[in-house]
Amino acid sequence: MNFPVVKGAAYALIQANDMLVHHGTTQTSERRKNAESDHLQDLPKHLRSFDHAVSYPPNQVYIGNISPDELKDYARPWYEHLDLSTSRDGKFGEIMPEDEFIGLMKMVDVFDLVILEGQFQTEVKEKVANHIILNKLKGLDKLEKQPGIAEEIQKLVDNHLAQPLYFNAKLVGCVKKAHEFDEALSDHVMMENLVSKASAAFALQLLLMKTDLKAEEVEYLIECSEEACGDMNQRGGGNFAKAIGEMCGCVNATGSDTRSFCAGPTHALIEAAALAQSGIYKNIVVLAGGASTKLGMNSKDHVKKGLPALEDMLGAFAIHVAENDGINPVIRTDGVGRHKIGSGASPQAVMTAIVTDPLDRMGYKISEVDRYAAELQNPEITEPAGAGDVPLANYKMIGALGVKRGELEKGDLAKVVAGFGMPGFAPTQGHIPSGIPFIGHAREMILAGDISRAMIIGKGSLFLGRLTNLFDGVSFTIEKNNGMLDIGFKKEDVRLMIAEAMRDLSKALAND
C-alpha cells in the first residue's frame, strides 16, 4: 500500500460583523419576531474591531502564527489578553476585513447578482488590486463595472428583491435573487452560496500562494461546506468545487461536492486520500468556505453576559492531498475510523467506532497517538451558551476509554489528556472546527519531528436534516513518512524482499 500524503494546508478567516447582525440565523429569527428587541438594540455595542479580531489569540492559531500548544500559555479570557504583536497575515493563511470580502463576493459572482454602491466599489477595488492574494483571482475587472446607485440598492432591498450588504452599519450593496419564484435561487440562498464560494476561493488561492502547488497541477477538487447549490429541480445538485476552481485558474481540474454536516470535511479528506492512493488523481484539494447563517449563533448569550460577539468570523480552508513523495506525513488509509449505522449513539459507542477501532487495526494504543483533533470549537464561544468546553469533553472520553482498556492509569488521566489534547481555537462554523484546523499544525509538527502521529476526527449530526436520527463520525490518522516503512511494508517484509533480491542477483551472476 502506497499511502497518500498531506502536502499543504491553508486557512482563511473573514471578520463579518455586519453579516452577523443582518444574516446570522439568530439575528434573522429575532428580527422576524421583533425588530426592536433588546438583543438587536444591544448587539452593535458588542461588535469588536478588526484589529481586535486579528489580535485575538485563537484566530492567530487558526492562521498559523501561534501553535495550539502555545495557546495554552495565554491567559483567559483570551478576548481580554490580545496579542498585539500579531499580523493579519499568517503562516497558513490570512484574516480578511469585511469590506474586502464584499468586494471578493462581487468578483466571484458570474451572474451579476452582486451590486455595490459606486463609491464603496471604487474604494474596495483599490484595496483588492493591491492585495497580493486577491489580485491573482479572476473577476477583478468586475469591480470596475456596473457600479450601483444607493437609492436603487435600497429600493431592491425594501421590495424584498435582494439581500442587503452592509459595512460599518452602512448599506453598501446587495445580492439579488437569481430567479423570480425559484426558492432555491432566492436572494438569501444566493447570498449564502456566494459567501461560501468567495471564502473558499480565498482559501484555495492562499494554498496556491503559500505552497509549491500550482493551479494547473490541481486535478480534482472536493468541496465540503454545509451549503447546497442548485435550482428547484435539484436543490443540492452542486457543483461548488468547479465553480471555486474556476476562480483560481485550476484549468485542469474537475471536482464534486461532499456533504455530511460537520463530518463532511473528514469524509472528503478520506475520499481524497483514496483517489491519490489509487493513482486516479495526483493532486487533490479538499476545500470549504464559511457559513454566513452560523455567524452569531450564540450571540444572545454573549450579549447577556457582557462579552464581545465572538462569532463574527467566517472560516475557510484548503488542504492538498497527493501521492506519496516520501517526505510529507502520510494518511493511514488502513486505519480509517467510521461510525457505522449500527454503532450506537452513546458517546462511548461513538468514540469506540471512530477512535479505538481504527487504532486496533493499526496496532496502536491510545497513548501512541500524540495529538487528537476533534470538534475544535473555541470554548470562549461555547461555554457562555452552556455547551461547555467541547474539545475537552472529547479528550476526556478518549482518555476514559484508555483507562477502561487498561492502556492508561486513572491517576494519570488529567496529565495524559492535557498532553494529547489541545485548546479549541476554531470559529463555530459547523464543518470548520471538526479536526481540520489542526492539519496544518500537525503537518509542521510531524515534519519537525515534534510528534509522530495525530488523529483527525470529524463528527456530525445527521438528524439535523430530519430524515434520520443517526449520528455520524469518521476519522483518519496522519503520521511521519518513513519512506518504504511507512508505505505499507513492515520491517520483516523489507528484510525478506532484500534477501529475495540478493538471491535473484546471485543466481543471475552464477548463470553468467
Nearest to 422 by CA among 455, 446, 447: 455
CA 190 vs. chain centroid, Å, equals: 21
For residue 92, give the 3-state DSSP assignment. coil
| Domain annotation covers residue 260 | yes
Residue 491 lies in a domain: no
Q: Identify whether 493 is part of a domain.
A: no
Residue 486 falls inside a structural domain: no
CATH code of the domain containing 133: 3.40.47.10
Whether 510 is covered by a domain: the verdict is no
Specify whether the CB–CB gap between 69 and 297 falls below 8 A. Answer: no
- Residue listed under C-alpha cell 486579528: 54
DSSP state of 334: G
Is residue 508, in this structure, part of any structural domain at all? no
Cell of 376: 475544535
User: 474539545: which residue's cell?
Assistant: 391
489 within some domain: no
C-alpha 189/C-alpha 247 separation (Å) is 20
Residue 490 is assigned to a structural domain of this protein: no
pLDDT in tens, the chain (512 residues): 689 999 999 999 999 999 999 999 899 988 888 888 999 999 999 999 999 999 999 999 999 999 999 999 999 999 999 999 999 999 999 999 999 999 999 999 999 999 999 999 999 999 999 999 999 999 999 999 999 999 999 999 999 999 999 999 999 999 999 999 999 999 999 999 999 999 999 999 999 999 999 999 999 999 999 999 999 999 999 899 999 999 999 999 999 999 999 999 999 999 999 999 999 999 999 999 999 999 999 999 999 999 999 999 999 999 999 999 999 999 999 999 999 999 998 889 999 999 999 999 999 999 999 999 999 999 999 999 999 999 999 999 999 999 999 999 999 999 999 999 999 999 999 999 999 999 999 999 999 999 999 999 999 999 999 999 999 999 999 999 988 544 445 445 555 656 666 676 666 666 65
Nearest to residue 192, comparing CAs of 99, 296, 112, 293? 293
Q: How many domains does the chain have?
A: 1
- Three-state SS string across 401-434, please? HHHHCCCCCHHHHHHHHHHHCCCCCECCCCCCCC
Range of the domain at 153: 5-481
State how beta strands 453-461 and 337-338 pair: unpaired
